[in-house]
Chain A
Amino acid sequence: MSSLLVGTLDITVDVSLALPTWTQLAAVAVGAVSGAAYAARRGFDVVGVLLLAVAEGLGGLLLRDTLLQTGTSIVLIDDRYLLLAAGAAVLGFFFAGLIDRLEPVVVVLDALALGFFCTVGASAALGEQLSPIAAVFIGAVTAVGGITLRDLLAGDAPRVLRPGVFTAAAAFFGALTFVALVKVALMPTAQAQILALLTVFAVRLLAIRLQWETRAARDISDRLWGFWSRDKTSQDSR
């Protein structure tokens, strides 16, 4: 049980993943296209479309690499990432209408990208010998960091913090699944990645289908002990 909390310093974790590099590029492209379409829909200018495409597509990976401090992010070293985001921005600039029409496809691809990013984030953290708890956190941040950055830059309260259909919750659950599979079930990361990705995918699509929504925080302090409410009513009656 202690290995769950302390992290494994003695074993070098093999974090080879099942999915090849192009899947990461594809996931980045999905995020970038939806960021660009979002900016176009909101009436932002050409720079806004570019910026939000970069933010949603690459934000998660940038945040992960900044938090892990593993050197300059792959996103800045490999030209393909930023060029993909720029291409996505062009696509969003001219074809936002078409992208809106293809919403079912976008939803499915988004769910896949969400699952992919949370496993990529969590496995990178495990590879850096971080504790499982930190790995879950990094996985979730990698998955929803892009959307969060996009919302912040667009001047909205981040969607993942507001009650709504499972997004961050699905990502958190996926990262938890991945880390648990690797650390507790001792499954090879490659298989764990596929399983966790499918889990997030299923949770997210089911949540959309069946309208599972996160709720605003509820206060249960009164239900535990009436002391607080009694105090309040006595003040009110005065």
Chain B
Amino acid sequence: MSNPVDSVIALPFALEMTAVTFGALSGALHATRKGLDPVGVFTIALVCAVGGGLIRDVLLQTGRPVALVVPTYLASAAFASVVGLLFARAVRAAVPVMVVVDTLLIGVWVVLGAERALVVDLTFSGAAFLGVITATGGGLLRDLLCGEVPSAIRPGEWYVSAAVAAAVMFVLMIQAGVRLEYAEGITILAAALLRSGSLRFGWRTPTAYDLWGDLEARMTARLEAARHVADERAARRRA
């Protein structure tokens, strides 16, 4: 099998490396905030950078994971984690910038994952799923390694939900025959808009709504009211 990256026409390689580097940096920051030791920081940074892609490639089973085949991935992740480890305070000063970049990168990850799935002729649900996994798998693994309930599944700001929406959107656009470049651009923009909208306006992801319980309560209330009316009417008739 040829170098899998070559078969993806798509996004420029430099963009992918930027995504990996930023993933590693934010992972290193998270780990230093948790007070992990250097090995821990390094591990979490690597997981954040290449974890999502590793899960995707393992699930796809189209040969070895790209992150192991192309040495640039691990090299840039390692470089970024060392920077994050040694210059945590300086990097933290750049957090506002990183938030913006991170917002833009959600869509990039989604596109990268979904494209690699589409290259091997996966159907749209599989491609969307792998897009989401690529974008969010790193964060998921990070939280699990830190022994926390993943922030992905707790109510909060839109992150994974933005990725899900963007992935579905991307795959539907490809199915509808939108040109790849446009579909990529729109997806990245949409994910960034959803994410920044949630940051700016405080949108929170919704938790389950017990429709059944609600309907039941309403029905019982209505029944109660009807019974009450009937009782009153009966009382009046007796009087």
Contacts and interface: CB of A to CB of B under 8 A. Distances in A.
Interface residues of A, number: 42
Contacts of B204: 45
Contacts of B152: 47-48, 51
A82 B129 contact: yes
Given A54-B129, A73-B59, A45 B154 contact: yes
Interface string B198-215: 000000111111111100
A27 interface: no
A44 B154 CA distance: 5
Given A41-B208, A66-B59, A77-B126, 10 more contacts: A39-B208, A45-B156, A47-B164, A47-B205, A51-B152, A75-B126, A94-B208, A95-B210, A96-B210, A155-B148
Interface stretch (B39-47, B91-99, B115-123, B176-184): B115-123
Most buried by A among B62, B140, B153, B204: B153
B137 to A, nearest CB: 11
A72 interface: yes
Interface residues of B, number: 40
A50 B152 CA distance: 11
Contacts of A78: 123
B212 A76 contact: no
Interface of B: 58-62, 117, 120, 122-126, 128-130, 140, 144, 147-150, 152-156, 160-161, 164, 204-213, 216
24 contacts: A47-B152, A47-B160, A48-B153, A51-B160, A52-B153, A54-B129, A66-B59, A72-B62, A72-B120, A72-B126, A73-B59, A73-B61, A76-B59, A76-B130, A79-B126, A81-B125, A82-B125, A82-B126, A94-B208, A95-B211, A153-B153, A154-B153, A155-B147, A155-B148
Contacts, number: 117
Most buried by B among A40, A43, A51, A152: A51
A64 to B, nearest CB: 12
Contact of A76 (B122, B148, B216): B122
